[in-house]
Chains A and B, each alone.
Chain A
């Protein structure tokens, strides 16, 4: 009895050690403040402590945690504001080619820019960057088709590049911006 309990306690602590920081970062990209992010992270791990044993496939623990955190976030958001409907139009090719100077990036700037990306795109983007979930895993977690995930990633990355680009301009950094192929072609 004591041995079994100790094993569960150790398992849980190991899970917390592995996942609390990535979960916090994900929560931080979604929520408004560090306090909200910490609260979401705690709530997610509390839910794991209460319900995690129902998950038969232990290899899915990470996906379970991120999905649960996202649902918790959505649940809280529903009380605050309705989601604006955003059309998933095509991304202009120029936007996909904007390239901020990678040497000037720092974690604070990247996080700030990420939080400025529209929420609809931000969630997929954060799951992609933070834990490098595949498009298929993200689709499963968010319960949307694969094409939607690809669209959100494409548009989200374009927005992120734009935001970083603007921040560098504001800071007066030299920015290297690749011209689009269309422009290059027209010059050629």
Chain B
């Protein structure tokens, strides 16, 4: 191995000494130990590499880059929540827990049944939770989802119930029932379950299902509260008890 070859090989030797035990460098390193001139070149090379490394590490990234990345990801959050196996298990666990608690705590009298649009909304939500359908938009910010719905002409909640404002959202979806547009926004509760705000417009078909004061209806494992406000009709729904639901009204 001549000196040019040694220098060629040692060009790939990292200045931090991480490659000291790499056999590919052994012969070249041995040769530098035997040749003072080569040893001097090698020390100079290490010093040069160290100086370049230090100077490059001193280059600062733009101050707002980190926040832009996090905000951008938040708004374009992929369907990773539902496709990751761990998340699927977590969702399943939350559903089982909610169902068990629901059975234990729910004593409220059963009113007749939900209207057609409400049943359709619960089916849509169940499909989202089971990962069988996807959100139209995903964000951890309810305000962002409301803005998205407004932009996309979906029926949108005028103001969120007070205790929902502080919850982290998952996503929203729009669909229609009998030609009536409906939207749903899903939020994560602090106890690990989910809660959903369904919004539709007041039509002859939906008007009868709601009054100004919330009406509580239980269907299966679902606890729902429905009310009317202006030309909007809202339904709050969760898998659990009426008591759990009342906290958010």
Instruction: Please report A residues at the B interface, Cβ cutoff 8 Å.
Output: 1-5, 8-9, 12-13, 16-17, 20-21, 24-25, 28-29, 34, 38, 41-42, 45-46, 49-51, 53, 90-91, 93, 96-97, 99-100, 102, 105-107, 109-111, 114, 126, 128-130, 132, 134-135, 149-151, 153-154, 157, 160-161, 178, 181, 184
**Is the beta-carbon distance between B73 and A49 smaller than 8 angstroms?**
yes
A110 touches B188 (CB 8 A): no
Assuming A34-B62, A132-B53, A160-B52, is B8 touching A91 (CB within 8 A)? yes
Min Cβ gap A15→B in Å is 10
Q: Which of B81-89, B118-126, B141-149, B211-219 lies at the interface?
A: B81-89
Which B residues are within 8 Å of any A CB, using their own CB?
A: 3-4, 7-9, 11-12, 14-16, 18-19, 22, 37-38, 40-41, 44-45, 47-49, 51-53, 55-62, 65-66, 68-70, 72-73, 76-78, 80-81, 83-84, 86-87, 90-91, 93-94, 140, 168, 170, 188-190, 192-194
CB distance from A141 to the nearest CB of B (A): 14
Asked whether, in the complex, the Cβ of A4 is within 8 Å of the Cβ of B87, the reply is yes
Judging by beta carbons under 8 Å apart, are A93 and B3 in contact? yes
CB distance from A149 to the nearest CB of B (A): 7
User: With contacts A107-B58, A129-B52, A157-B11 known, is A2 near B189, CB below 8 A?
Assistant: yes
Judge whether B81 and A5 touch: CB under 8 Å: yes
Q: Can you list 9 A-B contacts with CB-CB less than 8 angstroms, sorted by A residue number?
A: A2-B189, A8-B80, A45-B69, A102-B47, A134-B19, A150-B12, A154-B7, A178-B40, A184-B37
B66 — which chain A residues lie within 8 A by C-beta? 16-17, 20
Q: Are B61 and A25 in contact (CB under 8 A)?
A: yes
Residues of A within 8 A of B16 (CB): 132
Q: B90, A13: Cβ atoms under 8 Å?
A: no
How would you classify the secondary structure of chain B's contact residues: helix, strand, loop or mixed?
helix
Nearest CB to that of A111 among chain B residues?
A: B59
Q: Quick one: closest B residue to A158, CB to CB?
A: B11
**Complex CA–CA separation, A172 to B194 (angstroms):** 68
Contacts of A2 in B (CB 8 A): 94, 168, 188-190, 192
* Contact assessment for B90 and A1 in the assembled complex, using a CB-CB cutoff below 8 Å: yes
Establish whether residues B9 and A20, one from each chain, have CB atoms under 8 Å apart when the complex forms: no
B86 and A4 within 8 A (CB): yes
Query: How far is it, in angstroms, between the C-alpha of A105 and the C-alpha of B59 when the chains are bound?
Result: 13
Q: When the two chains form their complex, are residues B11 and A132 in contact, meaning their CB atoms are under 8 A apart?
A: no
Other A-B pairs beyond A107-B55, A157-B11, A160-B52, 4, CB < 8 Å:
A1-B94, A42-B69, A102-B48, A129-B49
Cα-based distance from A178 to B37 in the complex (angstroms): 11
Give which listed residue, B4, B44, B73, B78, contacts A45 with CB less than 8 A: B73
- Residues of chain B lying within 8 A (CB to CB) of residue A181: 3, 37-38, 41
A176 to chain B, nearest CB (A): 10
Pairwise interchain contact A12-B61, C-beta atoms closer than 8 A: no
User: Which of A20, A50, A134, A151 has a CB less than 8 Å from the CB of B61?
Assistant: A20
Residues of the B chain whose Cβ atoms lie less than 8 Å from the Cβ of A50: 76, 78, 80
- Measured between C-beta atoms, what is the minimum distance from B42 to chain A in Å? 11
- Closest chain A residue, CB of each to CB of B65: A38
Collect the chain B residues with CB atoms within 8 Å of residue A160's CB: 52
Q: Give the residues in chain B near A1, CB-CB below 8 Å.
A: 87, 90-91, 93-94, 188, 192-194
Contact among B47, B73, B94 with A12 in the assembled complex (CB-CB below 8 Å): B73
A153 to B162, CA, bound (A): 60
- Assess the B90–A3 pair: CB atoms within 8 A: yes
The answer to whether A42 and B12 touch (CB under 8 A), given A97-B41, A154-B7, is no
